[in-house]
Chains A and B, each alone.
Chain A
Amino acid sequence: NAGVMQNPRHLVRRRGQEARLRCSPMKGHSHVYWYRQLPEEGLKFMVYLQKENIIDESGMPKERFSAEFPKEGPSILRIQQVVRGDSAAYFCASSPRERGGRALDTQYFGPGTRLTVL
């Protein structure tokens, strides 16, 4: 009965490198959300995905950031050419909400990936 899994838990990159963050939702959950938490701040929504679809990416920076949730495998948040300002904790959450369903289901969060850009 595993919860949301994220790896790696800690990631160190040098400026200009790529960062790949992985998220495996809870069993039975088909909806994934990514949030970013900058130091000493609250969480900010980045993107909402269902299997093979991006539903809402209104919180994603326009450049260098991308996300996917393939039919098989974990969701990936990819940051290209990282800069120091990308240093943050990145949280993934999942929920079982069905497409078209009215009820809002709770989002359960993973432990986060702490990205440090040197």
Chain B
Amino acid sequence: AQKVTQAQTEISVVEKEDVTLDCVYETRDTTYYLFWYKQPPSGELVFLIRRNSFDEQNEISGRYSWNFQKSTSSFNFTITASQVVDSAVYFCALSESYNTDKLIFGTGTRLQVFP
């Protein structure tokens, strides 16, 4: 069965600290896609990244970086030099290629960055 686990319910850091949000997934398919979305206090969902199962290269976008490791079924997200504006709930999600593209979401990690 497909499942996404975000074990960290809430993380608090002080500005400029680095923080890593963990995501572990379960799937029976060999082709699948992983996503991260951000939900700021205003409530909307903002797409951050999509990664397919064939591409294990790490990705960096500004202060954001993602570490995909198939061996441990993890897709972790790191924010470098965190800022107050990074405060949000972050969701990891999984989709399988043979399915109807529905996303299976984790329960989210609430990140609070204090000044």
Residues of A within 8 A of B (CB): 31, 33, 35, 41-45, 48, 55-56, 58-59, 89, 91, 93, 95, 97, 102, 104-112, 114
Name 29 A/B residue pairs within 8 A (Cβ), A-sorted: A33-B102, A41-B107, A42-B107, A43-B45, A43-B91, A43-B93, A43-B103, A43-B105, A44-B105, A48-B102, A55-B100, A58-B102, A89-B43, A91-B45, A93-B45, A95-B101, A104-B50, A104-B95, A104-B97, A104-B101, A106-B47, A107-B47, A107-B103, A109-B45, A109-B46, A110-B44, A111-B43, A111-B44, A114-B43
Residues of B within 8 A of A91 (CB): 45
Shortest C-beta distance, A113 to chain B (Å), equals: 10
Q: How far is the CB of B103 from chain A (nearest CB, A)?
A: 6
Are B35 and A106 in touch, CB under 8 angstroms?
A: yes
Closest A residue to B43 using CB positions: A112
Query: How many CB-defined contacts (below 8 Å) exist between A and B?
Result: 62
B46 partner residues in chain A, CB cutoff 8 A: 109
Main secondary structure of the interface of A (DSSP, over half): strand
Count of B interface residues, CB-CB < 8 Å: 23
Contact partner, B102, options A56, A102, A108, A112, Cβ 8 Å: A56
Report the minimal beta-carbon distance from A55 to chain B, rounded to whole angstroms: 6
